[in-house]
Structure 1
Amino acid sequence: AMATTFPAIGQAGTRNDGRRLGLALLVIATAQLMVVLDATIVIVAQPHIQAALGFSGTGLEWVTNAYALTFGGLLLLGGRAGDLLGRRRMFVAGLLLFSAASLAGGLATSQAWLLAARAVQGAGGAIVAPTALALIATTFPEGPPRNRAMGVYAGMSGAGGAVGLIAGGLLVSYASWRWVLFVNVPIGVAAALAALIVLPAAARRPGRLDLPGALTGTVGLAALVYGLSNAATSPDGTSHWGDGKVVAALTAGAVLLAAFAVIETRSRHALLPVRLLGSRDRLGANLIMLGVGTALFGVFFFVNLFAQDVWGYSALRTGLSFLPLTGALLVASFAAAALVPRIGARPLLLAGGAASAGGMYWLSLVTEHSSYAGGLLGPGLVIGVGLGLLFVPLPLVAMAGVHEADSGAAASLLNAGRQVGGSIGLAVLGTVAWTVVANSARAAGTAQGAAHAAAYQHALTAGFDRAFLVSATLAALVLLVAVTVIRVRRADLAGG
C-alpha cells in the first residue's frame, strides 16, 4: 500500500514527497499531543470546575476518570476499526468526535453533562491514539524517516502530560476553566481537515469486527480502570481496596479479560491477533510501557499536588515548574531518534530505565524545606531525559515487523498499556501516599496552630516522597525487563 501512495519515496524521495510527509507528521503529532494533553489539562482546572458545577471531592475525580475510562476501554476497538475501515477515515472521525465532545464539555452547565462529554472525548481519543501511531508505521518508510517521525510522536506523547498542566494553568489563569475544553475545537477541526489533504487514503480491508472480543475487551479494560480509580486510599487514610464495588469491578475486569484472551485465541477476526504477542521483544516493549505509564502518571499527579499544597504554588506556577522536564524529554526524544539506527533500541531502553529510576529516587528526597532548584529541577531534568530515551524506542520495537494489516491492533496494545499503567499508578501510588500521610498526621497528633500546619505539611511530604520511591522501584523493574526480555537487534529496526 505504501508504494502506491508515495511512488517516489522508495527510490529517491522527491522534495514534494518529503514536504508531504512533513505535513503528515505535523497533523499526526498535533492529534497525538491533543489526546495526551487532555488527560492532564483538566487537573489544573479542577478546583474551578468544582466551584462552578458543585462537584464533591469524589465526584470531581470523575472529570479525569470518565476520560480515562472510555479512552482505555475503547483503545483496542479503535485500533482495529482503523485497520478494517481505513486509518485516515477513522483518524478524521475520531478527531471530529473529540472536537464535538470538547465543545459540548466547555458549554456544560451540570455535572452529568460535563462527565458525559468527557466520556465521549475519551472515545474520540481511543480512535485517534492508535490510528496516529499506525499511520506513522504505514506512511513513513522504515529507517531514518520512520525513526525521525517516531521521535516527534514520542516527544508529543511524553511531553503531552506536562504541556497539559502548563496550558491548563495558563487558560485557567487568563480565561476560564471552560477554555481547557474549548481549546481542542479549532485544533481538532483543523487537524481533521488537514488529514484529508495530506494523509494517504487507505482502502477498507476484508474482515469483520470481532464483537465478542470487542465487548469483553472493552468492558474488561473499563472495569479494571474503574476498580483501580476507586481503589486508592482517601487523603484521610481510609482504604477502599476492600470496598464492594472495587472488589466487584476488579474481579469482573479480571474475568472479562480472561474471557477476552480465550476468545482471541479462537477468533478468526481477532481484535488483538495472538500472533502479535508471539514476539518476545514486542511483549517486552508493552510491559515496559505499562511500567512507564504507572510510574509517570503518579509522579505528575503528586508533583502537582506537592507544589500546590506544600509549597503553595499557583496553578500556573506549578504548570511552569514542569517546563524543564518537558524540555529535557523533547531533547532526549530527538537524540534517541538519531541514535536508534547507530546503537539500536536496547541501549536506549537501558539508559532510559536507569535515568528514570535514578531521577525518581532523587525526587523522593524532596522535603517541604527544599528549594525548587534542589528539590524538583534536578530530578525533573533526569526523569525527562530518561523518559525521552524510553518513549522513542518503545513504539519502534512494538511496531517492528508487524504486518501492515495489524498495525492498528499493535498500536492500540501499546497505548492500552500506557493507559492502564496510568490507572494502576494513581491507585497504587495514591494508596501508598495517603496511608503514609494519615499515619504521619496521626503521629503528629495534638499540635495546634502553626505547629499543626507544619506537621501536616511534613505529613504530606512524607506521603508524596514514599509514592516517588515506589515510582523509582517501578522504573527499576522497567530496567530489569529491558535487560532480561528485550533482545531486538539493530538490524531488526533498520528495515529496508
Structure 2
Amino acid sequence: MSRTPGPRRGALGLLAATQLLMIMDTAIVNVALPSVGEDLRTGSAGLSWVANAYLITFGGLLLLAGRAADLFGHRRMYTGGLALLAAASAAGGLAQSTGALTAARAAQGVGAAFAGAAAFALLLVLFPDGPARHKALGAFAAMGGLGGVLGTVLGGVLTDLLGWRSTFWLNVAVAAVLGLLALRLLDGGTRGAGAGFDPLGALTATAGLGLLAYALVGRSPLAGAAGLALLAAFAAVQRRVARPLVPPAVLARPALRRANALSALAQMALFPMFFLVSLHLQNVLDRSPLAGGLGLLPLSLVVVATAPLTGRLIVRLGLGRTTTLGFGLLLAGMVWLALSLSADGTFATTVLAPSLVLGAALPLVMVTTNAAATAGAAPEETGLASGLINTSQQFGSVLGLAVLVAVATTRTGTATPQAETAGHQAALLVGAAFAAAAVLLSLRSGPPAPAPAPPRRGRVGDPR
C-alpha cells in the first residue's frame, strides 16, 4: 500500500480530528453535567435535556446536512458547521440558565451535524474505495475511540480545575483551529454535479427524524408516531419529485441497506455499553467519575492500535469475513462482560479483559460497515452516503441506549449494588443479542457494488 501523499495526509488528519472533537464533546459534557446542575440549580430532568437537545438536533439533521454538502459544497458546509458549533459553544459557556444552556446544546447539535456529515463526505472524496479508504476509515475509528476517553478525562480535569464552563470554551478553541486549517488544507470547489433541491423532502425528513429522536430520548409515543408518519410522507415525496433528497434508486441497493442496518446494530450494542460500564464502575465499584473514565482507557488504546490494521485484514480476509469477525468479537465481548460483572469484584477482575475484546471489535465493525455503506457512492453522492451512514449510527446509539437503560432499570428494582449489577448484566445481554443479530446478517453480506471510477487527482479535496 502506498503512503498517503502529504496534502491528503494533512487533510485526513484534519478530518479525523473533527471526529475526535464530536465524540470528545459529548463525553466532556456528560462528565460536567453534575457540576452544571449544582451551579444552575437544576435537577436531573433539566440536565437530561441539556444532553438530549444535542442528540435530537444532531440526529435529525444528519441526512439533510450530508445532502446539502453535496449540493452547496463540502468545505462550505464543513466550515459553516464548525462556525455554528463554536458560536453555540460560546453561548453555552455564557449561559446563566438551564433553558439557555439547552438551547445552546441544540444549536451545537445543528453545527455538529453539518460539520460531521461534510467531514465524512470529504473523506470519501479524498479517498476512493479500496485500501486507501479503509486506512482513512481506520483513522476515523481510532480518533473516535480516543475521543471518548480523552473527553472523559478532560471533562473531569477541566471541571475540577476551571469549572464546567471551561469545557464549552475548549470546543470554541478547537473548532476555530479546525476551521482555519480547513481553509488551507481543503479545496473550496467540491460539490455534486447535479443542481436543484428538494425542500419538501428536506422538511419531512428533518422533522420526522427529529421527532423520532425526541421520542427515543424523551420516551414519547405520540412524538414517535408523528415522526414515523412524517418519514412515510418523506418516502412518498421521494417517489414524486424530480430531484429527491434521497433518490429511491440509492435505497434500493441491497448492500447499502444491509451495511446501514449493521452499522445501527453495532451502535445499539456499543454506545450503551460505554454508558453501562461507566455507571457500574462508579455506582457499584465506587470509583470516581475521573477514575471511571480512565477505566475505559485500555479499551481505547486497543481501538487505536487495532484501527490501522483493519485495512490489512480486509485485504487478507475480504470485507464480508472481516465484518463477521468484528461482530463475532463484539458478541463474545458483550457476553463475557455481562457474565464477569460482580458487585464485589474489581476493575481488573470484571471489566478489563472483556473490554480489550470489545476494543478490538469496535474498529473492525465501524470500518467495515462504513466501507460497505459507501463503496457504491458516486462522487456526487458522497454527502448522501455520509448522511445515511451517520444517521444509522446516531439512531442506533439513541435506540440502543433507550432500550438497554430501560432493561437495566426494570431489572434493578432496588438500588443495592447486587440489584444494579443484575440490571447491568441483563442490559448487556440484550446488547449481545443485537450483536448476534448482526453476526447473522453479516453472513449474508456479499461483495459491495462496484465503486465508480476514481476521480482524477487535482487539488486536495477536488474530485474533478
TM interval, shorter chain, is over 0.9
Give the corresponding residue for 1:5.
Answer: none
Alpha-carbon distance in 1 for matches of 2:171, 2:385: 27
User: 2:214 matched to 1:226?
Assistant: yes
User: 2:280 matched to 1:306?
Assistant: yes
1:488 pairs with 418, 428, 447, which one?
A: 447
Query: What's the offset of the Cα at 1:296?
Result: 1.5
Alpha-carbon distance in 1 for matches of 2:217, 2:344: 31
Alpha-carbon distance in 2 for matches of 1:367, 1:352: 26
Q: Cα deviation per residue 1:18-61 (whole Å; 9 max; x = unaligned)?
A: 11111101111111111122222211111111101122211111
1:323 pairs with 290, 294, 297, which one?
A: 297
Contact (CA 8 Å) 2:194, 2:380: kept in 1 or not? no
Alpha-carbon distance in 2 for matches of 1:428, 1:218: 23
User: 2:430 matched to 1:470?
Assistant: yes
* Pairs aligned (count): 452
Contact (CA 8 Å) 2:83, 2:175: kept in 1 or not? yes
Query: What's the offset of the Cα at 1:206?
Result: 4.3
Partner AA of 2:122 in structure 1: L
Contact (CA 8 Å) 1:341, 1:494: kept in 2 or not? no
Alpha-carbon distance in 1 for matches of 2:434, 2:178: 36
Query: What's the offset of the Cα at 1:63?
Result: 1.4
2:204 pairs with 216, 221, 224, which one?
A: 216
Query: What's the offset of the Cα at 1:359?
Result: 0.7
Written as runs of structure 1 = structure 2, the 5 A alignment for 1:5-404 is 18-204=5-191, 205-231=193-219, 246-365=220-339, 366-404=341-379
Alpha-carbon distance in 2 for matches of 1:477, 1:166: 33
Query: What's the offset of the Cα at 1:268?
Result: 2.0
Partner AA of 2:132 in structure 1: P
Alpha-carbon distance in 1 for matches of 2:387, 2:306: 24
Query: What's the offset of the Cα at 1:140?
Result: 2.2
Partner AA of 2:179 in structure 1: A
Partner AA of 1:272 in structure 2: V
Alpha-carbon distance in 2 for matches of 1:470, 1:283: 23
TM-score, normalised to structure 2, is 0.93
Alpha-carbon distance in 2 for matches of 1:374, 1:61: 32
The structure whose Rg is larger is 1
Partner AA of 1:376 in structure 2: V
Contact (CA 8 Å) 2:135, 2:310: kept in 1 or not? no
Partner AA of 1:487 in structure 2: G
For residue 81 of structure 1, give the secondary structure of its aligned residue in structure 2.
helix
Partner AA of 1:227 in structure 2: A
2:402 pairs with 407, 419, 427, which one?
A: 427
Query: What's the offset of the Cα at 1:159?
Result: 4.0
Query: What's the offset of the Cα at 1:427?
Result: 1.2
Comparing 325-334 with 150-159, greater Cα deviation is found at 150-159
Alpha-carbon distance in 2 for matches of 1:402, 1:394: 14
1:456 pairs with 392, 413, 416, which one?
A: 416
Partner AA of 2:310 in structure 1: A
Query: What's the offset of the Cα at 1:493?
Result: 6.9
Comparing 184-193 with 273-282, greater Cα deviation is found at 273-282
Query: What's the offset of the Cα at 1:203?
Result: 4.6
Comparing 161-170 with 361-370, greater Cα deviation is found at 161-170
Alpha-carbon distance in 2 for matches of 1:347, 1:312: 40
Alpha-carbon distance in 2 for matches of 1:480, 1:160: 30
Query: What's the offset of the Cα at 1:430?
Result: 1.3
Q: Cα deviation per residue 1:187-211 (whole Å; 9 max; x = unaligned)?
A: 1111111111111222554422211
Q: Cα deviation per residue 1:89-138 (whole Å; 9 max; x = unaligned)?
A: 11111111111111111121111111111000000111011111110111
RMSD: 2.0
Contact (CA 8 Å) 2:20, 2:147: kept in 1 or not? yes
Contact (CA 8 Å) 1:333, 1:388: kept in 2 or not? yes
TM-score, normalised to structure 1, is 0.87
Contact (CA 8 Å) 1:328, 1:388: kept in 2 or not? no
Q: Cα deviation per residue 1:463-492 (whole Å; 9 max; x = unaligned)?
A: 1111111111111111111112x1116x95
Contact (CA 8 Å) 1:148, 1:334: kept in 2 or not? yes
Unaligned runs of 5+ in 2: 455-464
Partner AA of 1:193 in structure 2: L
Contact (CA 8 Å) 1:230, 1:427: kept in 2 or not? no
Unaligned runs of 5+ in 1: 1-11, 232-245, 442-454
Query: What's the offset of the Cα at 1:494?
Result: 11
Q: Cα deviation per residue 1:274-306 (whole Å; 9 max; x = unaligned)?
A: 222222111111001111111122111111111
Distance verdict in 2 for CA 1:57–1:345, change over 3 Å: same
Alpha-carbon distance in 1 for matches of 2:260, 2:212: 17
Alpha-carbon distance in 2 for matches of 1:369, 1:468: 18
Query: What's the offset of the Cα at 1:425?
Result: 1.2
Alpha-carbon distance in 1 for matches of 2:259, 2:446: 11
For residue 368 of structure 1, give the secondary structure of its aligned residue in structure 2.
coil
Contact (CA 8 Å) 1:310, 1:457: kept in 2 or not? yes
Query: What's the offset of the Cα at 1:495?
Result: 7.2
Alpha-carbon distance in 1 for matches of 2:160, 2:281: 17
For residue 200 of structure 1, give the secondary structure of its aligned residue in structure 2.
coil
Contact (CA 8 Å) 2:299, 2:356: kept in 1 or not? yes
For residue 183 of structure 1, give the secondary structure of its aligned residue in structure 2.
helix
Partner AA of 1:472 in structure 2: A
For residue 392 of structure 1, give the secondary structure of its aligned residue in structure 2.
helix
Q: Cα deviation per residue 1:352-396 (whole Å; 9 max; x = unaligned)?
A: 101111111111120111221121111111111111111111211
Alpha-carbon distance in 1 for matches of 2:206, 2:128: 32
Distance verdict in 2 for CA 1:266–1:154, change over 3 Å: farther
Query: What's the offset of the Cα at 1:158?
Result: 4.2
